Every structure is written in structure tokens, then in C-alpha cells.
Amino acid sequence: MSKQLLLYLIIIIGILGSVSKANAAKVIHDDLSAATNPTQHVRYFEDTASIFTYEQILALDTSEFTTTSSTSLNFVRSKSKFWVVFDIENRTDEKLTLLVKNPLINYLNAYVIDEKGKINTITTGGYTPYATRSFATSQFSFDLGLHPAKVILETNTMTDFYFPMSIMGREILIETLHHTDLLNGFLVGILVGLFFYNLFLFISIRDKSSFWYLVYVFCLALILLRIRGIGFEILWPEAPYMNGGTSIPFALLLISSSVFTNYFLEVKTYSRFLSVYLWLHTAFSCGLLVYAVLFSEYLTANIFLYFQGTLLGFSELLIAAYVWYRGNKIAPYFIFAWGFAIIFAPITTAATNGLLSGSFITLNLSQILYSLKVILMSNVLGFKYNFFKKDALAKAEENRKILENQNVILEKKVAERTNELEASNSQLEQVNQMKDRIFAIIGHDLRKPVVAFNGISETINYLVKKEDYSTLQQLGAEIEKDGFTLQKLTDNLLNWALMQRDVMPYNPKEVNLSEKAEEIILIFEKVARDKNIGLLNKIPKGMRVFVDPNALLTILMNLVDNALKYTPVGGLVELGAVSEAEGVKILVSDTGVGMSEEQMRDIFLLQKDKSQKGTGGEKGTGLGLHLVNELVKLNKGVIKADSRRGEGTAFEVLLPVKNLEVA
């Protein structure tokens, strides 16, 4: 009986083994509008001794390979060489490209066999000169041709060994690389900008914690440049040896993190034991750094650094909580800024180690959150020194005056240059006038509320200590008002900048006009209530227009903001709409001060000193109506205005109800 049972077990194990070693199905690509993930159809072979050649792999029986049912291929951290093989059939009329989105792979060779048996060998990877890549991008791409039959990939790396693959046509490839480059630029831009911000902060105050935070940001930028492949793409394209791993900057990152936490939170003041604990972390990181440099054991060092980094991150949060309990007033801000990346970093660590699916979110979440952490912590540093350092405030004021003088000199030079070109090019004159107006908005209207916030924490602290809650309440109202003004102006400036570069997003669709109007009512409800102005939505429910939703919000926000600004106390602002043969006419009317015929002639032009103050002393920039006019044109609409002095103003915006290009 026992022999029969043993025989059954052997048969079952054999069946399961044959299933796991079964041939993967052929990869079929038949959609030019999407990418194909071949992972579930591949088979791979682990060459632990790194001795197999391409010819030997091609001669192996398929039973020697392992298949996978996962949508992402992950070899964790391994020193082995891996051979990834899959059969493919292209059912489109366009050449295909294989994209491997992991810039950390050191060696990556591709052998593409077409239907006629012709072999195309492509060599790339982080240890291969950047100029050999078929596309100038941080990712790895391979031209599969029009009729590929089999693809064999030879790969090896000393770092994170996840292997995300996609097969696509050229158009989708360019779009994918564009999105990747946008994310790379966003993340690196944040870190580079904040590095120089913190460099300026350190030069200004010469504080230990600011120095170590500067080192932290620098190391984080180096790591991000490496793991996103941007460093190889931009900084060292002719130096592949720089791609040896992230162990060295990672160790320096942990060293600077532990030292920064020690100094910034003044841990020794509250607990000598916790301070020593952080110094032990520093010493351990130094040991791993020396180990990685002397023995080039980047893989082993990285494993220890990941575990130590996780332990250190949570330890720093607990230490911050303790010193907060002991009375450190800056600790809660540290916890808020530090906590995002520390809590969610294990998600990316788990994804790169094969414990989670390697999706876009899991592989990029910690990098995005670490960038957010740097932004928040930089603000916390600024807050700390605004709160505690009188000399830093004095230096900041001195720098502000220098900047003002430089702006005056710059404006003078711009004006002189503009006068020289006026006679030769009238169109250039109009562009320069628009530029001068934007500079004025940035230098005055945008800078004014920002300057108003300078030193606000000291003022609030002083009023709280004096228990002057009446003045504090007034100050709060002013802060809210300036903040709302700053947000509106910033949004308009950003939208204007996008329009100038012809990159303004335009994604029109059917939009419920009444619902969008209700959103505007909610946004300006408090402004209207403060001025005792009636704000009514008379747009019929269910009325729709074909427009970009964000553009519609910007149009309505600027028109309603203008109406409220120039309507006196007790007045009325109404939103209405009527259907016409050409589309839907949106009406925004008020009972305000109105405009003269001279003002009406250039109402949509961005000109200096065009705006007048509102009934509550509000300052206008003229940018809003100019932006509204451009957005209406972008959405294939028409805008008109009717106004008389003392009788109010009415704006009419005619927008289409269907796609005019299709029609």
C-alpha cells in the first residue's frame, strides 16, 4: 500500500514539474494602439555559473526552462546570468520594439530571430556605452523588425533585478518614453531645485543640520539619477563604470540621514541613549560603505543597506515622537515630512524584491514620496530658522533687497532693449509688452502675498502669547484672502505659460455645465458672502457643452472672480445659459461698476496698467480675461462683453455642444 502511495506521489510531482516546465504560449501582437506584455508567455533559464552561450541556450530542450504565470518577471537580487526566451508573432504591418524598463540592468543582450532564421544581435546594458542605444533614453529598447519569430535575452545585474517588458509599435514607444521622461524630469527637477535651495540655506545660516540635510538631498539625487538611468543618459554617457550600483550613495544617504536627525531634533538634549543609537547607525553605514568600496560587493552591501534603511527610518520617526513628547516643538513637522516616504518605502522595496507585482505605482511610489519628503522637509528647515534664527531673517531680508535691486536693473535693461527694437518690429513690441506685464505680475502681484507670509509664524506666535485673539482672527482672514488670491494668480500664470508654449492640455468632452457652475458657486461662496453679493446659478440642469473640463473651470472662475471684484456690496452676480443653433451661450452678468467704451476696446489684451481696483480694493492683473479669451478660442468658442459705466457688465461665451472637427 505504501509503495502504491509513493508511486502516486511521484506521478503527481512529475505532472506538476511538467506543467511548470511546459512550453510558454507564443506572444501575439495584433494591436498597434497598445503595448503587449510578453511576461506570461516567456520561459527563462538561470545560468548560475554564467558559462552558457547563445548557441547552447538555443540548443537546450524547452523542459530545461522555467515558465511563469506572473505579469511581471522578477529575479530578486542574484549574481546569476538569466536567459529569457519567447516566441512571437507580429500580426500588424508595423515594425515592433521590445522595451525593458529597468535602467539598473548592467548587461543586456538580445538575439532576435526572424521567420527566415536570420539572427540580429543587439548588445546594451548599463555597462555598455550609452551611444550604442537605438533610442536616446534611459530605458533599454530592441528593434524586433517586422516579422520576428523568437527573441532570446541574455541579462545580468548586480542591483534590483526586476525585468518589466513591453512590446509595441514606434508610436506607442515614443509616447511611453515621453511619459517616462516627464516623470524623470519632474523627480530630478524637484531634487536639483531643492538641492540649490538647501545649499543657499546652508550658506546663509552655517548650521550643522542644514549641511547634513544638503548631503542627504545630494545623495538622494545621485541615487535617483542612477535608478532612473538619467545619470548615464545626461551626466556620464561615456563612463559605464559609474553604473556599478547604488551602494555608495545609499550608504552616504543613511549616514547623512542619521546625523541630520541627531542634530536637527537635538536628540542628545532629550536622550543621550537615543543619540548614541543614531551614531551607531551612522557607524554601521560607514562600515557598509567601506565594505562596498574595498570589495566591490555592491549586491551584498545593498541587501544590508535596505534592511538598515528601513530600520533607521522607523527609528527616526519613533525618536521624533519621543522628543516631541519631551517638548521639542519642531518634531511634529519632522514626523509629518519624514513619515510619507518611510511608511510607504517598503512597498517599492517589496516590488523590487519580487514580493509584490512590479507595477508603475509599486516601483515608483517611494521615489515620488521621497521627493515629496524633500520638499516638505526643506520647508520645515525654512520654518525652523524663521522661527528660531533672528540672524537668518536679517540675511534673508538683505538678500531680498539685493534681489529687488537686481530686478530693477533687469527691468531697466529689458525696457532699454525694447525701445531699441520698437521701430524695427511692431509684433516683437507687442510680445515684449506682454512679457513686461508678466514680469510685473510676478514681481509685484505674485510677490506681494508671498512677502506677506514672510515672518508670519513669529507674528502668530507673538499674538498667541499676548492672547490678542481679535488681531489674530483678523490676521487669519487676511492670510486666507492672500492665499486665495495667490492660488488664483498662480493658476492663471501656469495656464498662460502652457498656452505660450503651445502645450496647454486640450481634452474636450461632453460636460454638464450646471454641475461645473455649482463648483464655481462653492468656490466663491465665501467671497460673495463677505461682500454681501448674491451669487446665483440659473443654468438649466442637464445642459451640456463640448469643452475641455479644466479649461471650462478656468473660464468660469475668472469671469465670476471679475464679476465679484467689481460688484459693490449688496449687488448680484448671475450665471445663466441658453441653447442656440451654434451651441450654448453662457452668460455671466453682474450689477457692478461697469466699464467705459475705451476700457472695452482692449479688455482681452494683456497690457500694463490696464486693470482697475475692485469695489473692495482688490487688485487686478489683467491676466485673467486675456487667459479666458485664449481658452475660449482653444475650445472653438466665441466670447463677447457688454458693459456701461454704473450699469454692470455681462460676458457671453458661446461654446459648441459637439465635436466640431468630427462634424
Say if residue 322's pLDDT is above 90.
Answer: yes
Cα separation, 223 vs 220, in Å, equals: 5
Number of helices and strands in the chain (H, E): 20, 19
Q: Greater confidence, 283 or 134?
A: 283
Cα separation, 354 vs 536, in Å, equals: 56
pTM: 0.46
Provide the residue count of the chain. Answer: 663
Task: Give the pLDDT of residue 83.
Answer: 92
Cα dihedral 206, 211, 213, 219 sign: positive
- Weakest mean pLDDT among 75-84, 98-107, 192-201, 372-381: 372-381
Q: Greater confidence, 384 or 604?
A: 604
Answer whether 605's CB lies under 8 Å from 611's CB.
Answer: no
Answer whether 44's CB lies under 8 Å from 62's CB.
Answer: no
245: left (phi over 0), alpha (psi -120 to 50) or beta: left
Say if residue 144's pLDDT is above 70.
Answer: yes
pLDDT range class, residue 394, cuts 50, 70, 90: low
Say if residue 616's pLDDT is above 70.
Answer: no
Task: Give the pLDDT of residue 22.
Answer: 40
Q: What is the DSSP string of 570-636?
A: T-EEEEEEEEETTEEEEEEEE-S----HHHHHTTTS--TT-----TTSPPP-SHHHHHHHHHHHHTT
Task: Give the pLDDT of residue 115.
Answer: 87
Residue written as grid cell 476700457? 599
Task: For the domain made up of 22-176, give the CATH fold.
Answer: Immunoglobulin-like (2.60.40)
Say if residue 158's pLDDT is above 80.
Answer: no
Say if residue 12's pLDDT is above 50.
Answer: no
Residue range 169-185: average pLDDT?
80
Answer whether 104's CB lies under 8 Å from 226's CB.
Answer: yes
Task: Give the pLDDT of residue 631.
Answer: 85
Answer whether 148's CB lies under 8 Å from 111's CB.
Answer: no
Say if residue 20's pLDDT is above 60.
Answer: no
Distances in whole angstroms, Cα of residue 451 to Cα of each of 198, 479, 483, 492: 20, 11, 12, 19
Query: Please, what is the Cα angle at 20 between 14 and 22, to 5 degrees?
Result: 95
Least Cα distance to 317 among 343, 353, 284 occurs for: 343
Distances in whole angstroms, Cα of residue 107 to Cα of each of 80, 153, 155, 156, 431: 12, 10, 5, 5, 51
Q: Which residues pair with 641 in a beta bridge?
A: 651
Answer whether 339's CB lies under 8 Å from 317's CB.
Answer: yes
Answer whether 587's CB lies under 8 Å from 576's CB.
Answer: yes
Say if residue 193's pLDDT is above 70.
Answer: yes
Task: Give the pLDDT of residue 275.
Answer: 92
Q: Which of the residue ranges 87-101, 157-171, 381-395 has the most confident prediction, judged by mean pLDDT? A: 87-101
Burial 536-553, CB ≥16 within 10 A → b, else e:
ebebeeebbbbbbeebbb
Percentage of the chain lying above the pLDDT 90 cut? 9
Cα dihedral 381, 384, 388, 393 sign: positive
Say if residue 655's pLDDT is above 60.
Answer: yes
Q: Does domain 509-655 have CATH number 3.30.300.20?
A: no
Task: Give the pLDDT of residue 309.
Answer: 80
Answer whether 553's CB lies under 8 Å from 591's CB.
Answer: no
Answer whether 384's CB lies under 8 Å from 330's CB.
Answer: yes
Per-residue pLDDT reduced to its tens digit, 397-438: 777 788 788 778 877 877 777 776 665 565 555 555 555 555
3-state helix, strand, coil in the chain (%, to 5): 55, 15, 25
Least Cα distance to 152 among 20, 72, 22, 38 occurs for: 38
Say if residue 172's pLDDT is above 70.
Answer: yes
**Amino acid at residue number 24:** A
How crowded is the C-beta side of 249, counted as CA atoms within 13 Å? 18
Least Cα distance to 604 among 581, 632, 569 occurs for: 632
